[in-house]
């Protein structure tokens, strides 16, 4: 029998052949749980080192706030939102199943299908956005080099990016860990070179002259940063920590998840703010082509390396999304193997990317509407998941996560009603004026005395924070007895279990 030395990235034998992951929603056995919490750095850093982080500087300033306000909103939004991911990642080492299966402890086995469906929509949306951006960036680079840049280039770029993403997502955990390690090294080095090359375009006088905005505009930027970063990942936060041994330290899981996810976005945000604040034309161009616009200030010789760093960084995020979206689809009730679910998501990703690349007139408007609209129910789910996790003192019962008549129940009404109430409140407090199909939102801004859809609070998007807070506090107040009964070994009376 051939033996290999241990791989420092995932703690598994180095030099082993790459294999298709056969795990879906099933339990990861203790014998397969390897590595240490520090291995979580690689997938989280690789998924968030994308140069898209530079564009968030322009997005933040677009709320009408100053450099210092945007910096504060960005740092706070990135760190806090990824800290939520770190907390939920602890559920992975407490259990042996994907995030959206562990969520069954709070929602019941079949009741969990609602948040699983929402999670699936969010991750498919994100993988579509990232794939489309990689395609647009490649076309822009090729256009500047005189190698094309038209429809043919976009089609070829889309095929290559989609192939990398789908293959990684279908192959599973082993390939993803190796791919993210390579992406981390390559994109890290090339991003540093990019920063050095364009540093001369920063003009502090222009940056410091950007006027300050209102508190409401600051809150709007803060919420946007939270939904654009950590809140877009919370529903997948335990998908990788579930491969760690149960004895792993919870604080280390939180720390390495948060650190790995935060370090690149924070550095990229600062530089992106300086670039966008130095040039209004660049800031406006980012809204239409967030990655391609960044090439306009590059020397020609670095355009190809920039295309590499842009594509790999975006693929790094898309691969994690398509892996987790497949798991979410299975948790929502689709009876197929994980790799087939990932293939289905890949097909939807390609269709959505075709629309964004070839038919959409603007990127930022639908992107903002997508983040805010799905950010509200995901924030509600996150609040319930965090409170449920905080109430627990024991590891999950892996078997009962799959049994409708087990301790976690089937369709308990309380968490579902709380999710719906928090979502209804949240949608009533957000607006998306740049997306006409979302004009129905914000219906509570008037009745609550916040100035209506055209008032000062309309752009603050308080609904995301309100949904998170209501769901969290509601679960702490209403879920304590239920959790205690579960950990004592039996569902509480009146749980409301329905037959399978």
Cα-based angle 318, 9, 167 (whole degrees, multiple of 5): 30
238's tokens: 């335990």
Residue 189 has pLDDT above 70, yes or no: yes
Identify whether the C-beta of residue 235 lies closer than 8 Å to the C-beta of residue 324: yes
91's tokens: 């559920």
| pLDDT at residue number 338 | 78
Identify whether the C-beta of residue 9 lies closer than 8 Å to the C-beta of residue 183: no
* Sign (positive or negative) of CA dihedral 210, 212, 217, 223: positive
pLDDT tens-digit profile of 135-171? Answer: 888 888 888 888 877 888 899 989 988 888 888 767 7
d(CA 145, CA 281): 21
End-to-end CA distance of the chain: 45
d(CA 211, CA 127): 35
Average of per-residue pLDDT across 60-81: 96
Average of per-residue pLDDT across 171-195: 76
- Reference 338, options 87, 93, 24; nearest CA is 24
Residue whose entry in the numeric block shows the structure tokens 């948790």? 331
Strand partners, 336: none
Percentage, residues of the chain above pLDDT 90: 49
Distances (CA, A) of 265 to 56, 244, 255: 9, 25, 16
What is the SS3 assignment for 6?
A: strand
Residue 224 has pLDDT above 90, yes or no: yes
Which one is predicted more confidently, 420 or 148?
420
Report phi then psi at 6, rounded to 5: -75, 135
d(CA 379, CA 381): 5
d(CA 368, CA 353): 16
| pLDDT at residue number 213 | 96
Cα-based angle 351, 354, 357 (whole degrees, multiple of 5): 150
pLDDT tens-digit profile of 277-308? Answer: 999 999 988 877 788 888 888 898 988 888 88
Report phi then psi at 202, rounded to 5: -85, 130
d(CA 176, CA 195): 27
Q: How many residues does the chain have?
A: 500
d(CA 179, CA 323): 13
Q: Identify the band that residue 440 occupies on the pLDDT scale cut at 50, 70 and 90.
A: very high
Lowest mean pLDDT among 171-185, 224-238, 296-310, 316-330: 171-185
- Reference 123, options 368, 346, 292; nearest CA is 346
Residue 474 has pLDDT above 50, yes or no: yes
What is the SS3 assignment for 407?
A: coil
Identify whether the C-beta of residue 378 lies closer than 8 Å to the C-beta of residue 119: yes
Identify whether the C-beta of residue 229 lies closer than 8 Å to the C-beta of residue 48: yes
d(CA 416, CA 422): 10
Q: Identify the band that residue 322 occupies on the pLDDT scale cut at 50, 70 and 90.
A: confident
Distances (CA, A) of 51 to 38, 198, 230: 24, 13, 16
d(CA 308, CA 318): 15
Residues with Cβ within 8 Å of residue 375, at least 6 apart in sequence: 223, 226, 227, 231, 232, 464
Assign 3-state DSSP to the chain and report helix, strand, coil percentages, each to 5: 70, 0, 30
Which one is predicted more confidently, 257 or 27?
257
493's tokens: 């009376």
């Amino acid at each position: 029998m051939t033996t290999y030395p241990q791989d420092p990235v995932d703690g598994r034998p180095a030099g082993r052949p790459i294999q298709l992951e056969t795990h879906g929603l099933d339990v990861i056995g203790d014998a397969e749980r390897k590595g240490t919490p520090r291995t979580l750095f690689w997938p989280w850093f690789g998924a968030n080192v994308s140069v898209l982080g530079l564009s968030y500087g322009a997005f933040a300033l677009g709320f009408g706030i100053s450099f210092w306000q945007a910096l504060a909103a960005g740092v706070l939004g990135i760190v806090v939102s990824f800290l939520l991911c770190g907390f939920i990642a602890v559920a992975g080492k407490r259990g042996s199943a994907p995030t959206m299966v562990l969520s069954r402890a709070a929602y019941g086995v079949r009741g969990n299908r609602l948040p699983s469906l929402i999670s699936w929509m969010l991750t498919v949306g994100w993988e579509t956005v990232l794939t489309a951006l990689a395609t647009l960036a490649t076309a822009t680079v090729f256009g500047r080099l005189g190698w094309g840049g038209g429809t043919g280039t976009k089609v070829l770029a889309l095929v290559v990016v989609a192939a990398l993403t789908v293959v990684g997502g279908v192959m599973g955990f082993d390939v993803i860990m190796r791919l993210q390690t390579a992406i981390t090294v390559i994109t890290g080095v090339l991003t540093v070179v990019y920063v050095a090359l364009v540093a001369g375009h920063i003009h502090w006088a222009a940056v410091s002259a950007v006027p300050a905005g209102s508190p409401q505009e600051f809150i709007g930027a803060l919420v946007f940063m939270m939904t654009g970063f950590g809140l877009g990942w919370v529903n997948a936060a335990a998908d990788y920590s579930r491969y760690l041994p149960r004895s792993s330290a919870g604080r280390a899981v939180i720390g390495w998840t948060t650190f790995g996810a935060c370090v690149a976005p924070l550095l990229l945000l600062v530089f992106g703010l300086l670039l966008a604040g130095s040039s209004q034309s660049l800031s406006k161009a980012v809204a239409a082509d967030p990655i391609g616009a960044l090439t306009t200030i590059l020397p020609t010789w670095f355009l190809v390396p920039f295309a590499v760093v842009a594509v790999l960084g975006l693929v790094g995020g898309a691969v994690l999304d398509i892996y987790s979206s497949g798991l979410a689809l299975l948790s929502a009730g689709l009876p197929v193997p994980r790799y087939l679910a990932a293939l289905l998501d890949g097909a939807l990703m390609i269709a959505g990317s075709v629309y964004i690349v070839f038919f959409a007139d603007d990127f930022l408007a639908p992107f903002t509407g997508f983040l805010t609209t799905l950010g509200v129910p995901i924030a509600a789910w996150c609040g319930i998941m965090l409170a449920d996790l905080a109430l627990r003192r024991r590891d999950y019962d892996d078997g009962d996560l799959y049994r409708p008549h087990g301790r976690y129940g089937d369709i308990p009404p309380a968490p579902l009603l709380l999710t719906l109430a928090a979502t209804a409140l949240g949608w009533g407090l957000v607006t998306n004026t740049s997306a006409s199909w979302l004009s129905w939102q914000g219906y509570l801004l008037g009745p609550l005395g916040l100035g209506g859809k055209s008032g000062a609070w309309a752009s603050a998007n308080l609904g995301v924070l309100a949904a998170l807070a209501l769901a969290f506090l509601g679960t702490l107040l209403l879920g304590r007895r239920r959790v205690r009964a579960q950990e004592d070994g039996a569902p509480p009376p009146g749980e409301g279990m329905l037959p399978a």
